[in-house]
């Protein structure tokens, strides 16, 4: 497909709202409307050459899913469907939610699971994000001193969400659009 696919997992709906904000910032001419992974099919998902994937943080840095208390299916139920796939032709950017005050010792740690899953299957991972401006003790989602994707804290820093999305998209948007153009 020649648009960016946006997929997310959510439990409380906050990740969905951030996905919608990312979609709005990109525009319908650049991206398709965000889709919950619990309503997505493998063929639909794999049809995109550029993807933005979002996840809430859940449990002790676990992959969000019903086994760790999510009400509906989430990434834990969707990822196994993608197990044997090769993502080497895909460019993937990630965003994750976290609460740096309440979960300072494992801030936004669920994001690393998506990163490892898609990187291990050959995806070109883009969109690492600075840890500056956040206050936390530890996060599993830091590689080479940066978060593996955009991190949003809607609980402690809601006023920073839109500026962070805008700055992040200024970096990853051209890379994702480039991948769409190459595949067209």
pTM of the model: 0.94
DSSP assignments along 98-148, one per residue: --TTTTGGGTTTTHHHHHHHHHHTT-EEE--B--TT---S--TTEETTEES
The pLDDT, as a whole number, for residue 184 is 73
Q: Which residues pair with 114 in a beta bridge?
A: none
Among the residue ranges 8-22, 54-68, 136-150, the one predicted with the least confidence is 54-68
Can you give the pLDDT at residue 73? 83
Does 5-183 carry CATH code 3.40.50.360? yes
Q: At what angle do helices 14-26 and 161-183 cross, to 10 degrees?
A: 60
If you count them, how many residues does the chain have?
Answer: 184
CA 52, 56, 57, 61 dihedral sign is: negative
User: For the segment 14-47, what is each residue's pLDDT rounded down to a tens digit?
Assistant: 999 999 999 999 999 999 999 999 999 999 999 9
Listed range (53-62, 75-84, 86-95, 114-123) with the worst mean pLDDT: 53-62
Average of per-residue pLDDT values in the chain: 92
Listed by start position, the domains of the chain span: 5-183
What confidence score (pLDDT) does residue 59 get? 62
Give just the sign of the alpha carbon dihedral 71, 7, 93, 118. Answer: positive
Q: pLDDT confidence of 178, banded at 50, 70, 90? A: very high
Q: Which of the four pLDDT bands, split at 50, 70 and 90, describes residue 1?
A: low
The stretch 149-168 carries a mean pLDDT of 94
> What does the pLDDT average to over 110-130?
96
pLDDT at residue 61 greater than cutoff 70: no
């Amino acid at each position: 497909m020649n648009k960016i696919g946006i997929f997310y997992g959510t439990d409380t709906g906050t990740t969905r709202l951030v996905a919608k904000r990312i979609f709005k910032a990109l525009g319908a001419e650049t991206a398709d409307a965000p889709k919950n992974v619990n309503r997505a099919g493998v063929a639909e998902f794999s049809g995109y050459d550029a993807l933005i994937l979002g996840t809430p943080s859940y449990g002790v840095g676990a992959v969000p899913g019903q086994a760790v208390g999510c009400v509906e299916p989430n990434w834990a139920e969707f990822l196994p469907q993608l197990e044997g796939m090769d993502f080497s032709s895909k460019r993937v950017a990630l965003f994750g939610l976290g609460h740096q005050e309440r979960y300072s010792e494992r801030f936004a740690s669920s994001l690393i699971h998506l990163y490892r899953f898609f990187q291990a299957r050959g995806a070109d991972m883009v969109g690492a994000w600075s840890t500056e401006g956040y206050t936390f003790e530890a996060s599993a989602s830091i590689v080479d001193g940066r978060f593996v994707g955009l991190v949003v804290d809607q609980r402690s820093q809601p006023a920073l969400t839109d500026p962070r999305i805008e700055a992040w998209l200024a970096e990853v948007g051209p890379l994702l659009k480039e991948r769409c153009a190459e595949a067209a």
